[in-house]
Amino acid sequence: MIAHGWWEVAAPLLANPAGADSARVQARDAVRLADIQEEATPTPDLQRMAAECAKVTASSGTQGFRCYDVAGRPPTNNDLEQVFGGVRPQLRRTTGQQHAPTSLGVTGATRLPAAVASRTHHFTAADLVPPNLERWRAKRTWLKQRRLPRLLGRRFRQNPEAYLQKLEERLVKLRLPP
C-alpha cells in the first residue's frame, strides 16, 4: 500500500494544475523521490521499488520535464502515437491493401506528415504546387536513392539467377579492356 501511495502523490504533481515551469516541477519531483527513499527503508522490497522509481526518473533526465515549458504540449507522446497510428488504417483504406504499404518505411518522412495534414485540411491543386522546386527535386532524388536498395532486393528475390547473371556480366565488362 505504501508504494501505491507514491503514485497517488506523483499523479497530481506531474499533472501540474498550477502551470509551473519545468524547473519547478523537476524540483518538486526530486523532493518526491527523496521522500520515497525515506519511506522505503523498512523493507528490501520497498527499497527495490524506490530504486527502480529513481532509476526510471533519472533515465529521462531533464527531457521528461520539457513539456511543462511549452503551452499545449502533452506530457506524453500517446496523443502523437495515436495520430500516427491512424495513418496505417487510412493508407490501407486508400490503397485497398490488407497491410500498410512497405513503402511507408522508405517514404515515411513525406507520407506521414501528408497523411496527418490531410485529415484536418482539404488541399486543392494549387496547394500541392511545391513552393521551392529545387527543394522538391532534391527530396525526390533522396527518396529515389532510399527506394533503390528495396527495388534491387525485390528483383533479386523474384529471380535470383537472372539478377546474379546480370551482375556477373557487368563485372566481366568492367574487367575487359576497352
The verdict on 23 and 67 lying in the same domain is yes
Q: Which amino acid is at 114?
A: A
Computed from CA positions of residues 151, 146, 134, 101, in that sequence, does the dihedral angle turn out positive or negative?
Answer: positive
Same domain, 117 and 137: no
Residues counted in the chain = 178
CA 124 to chain centroid, in Å, comes to: 29
pLDDT above 80: residue 102: no
169: containing domain: 130-178
How many domains in the chain?
3
pLDDT in tens, 41-58: 778 888 888 888 888 878
Q: What is the pLDDT of residue 178?
A: 63
List Cα–Cα distances, 172 to 20, 153, 161, 168, 177, in angstroms.
70, 22, 16, 6, 10
Same domain, 19 and 56: yes
**Over residues 4-21, mean pLDDT:** 80
Query: Tell me, what's the pLDDT at 138?
Result: 92
Check whether residue 13 and residue 45 sit in a common domain.
yes
Task: Give me 110's grid cell.
Answer: 513525406
Cell of 32: 518526491
Taking all residues of the chain, what is their mean pLDDT, rounded to a whole number?
Answer: 80
Within 10 A of 89 (CB to CB), how many other CB atoms are there?
10
pTM confidence score: 0.46
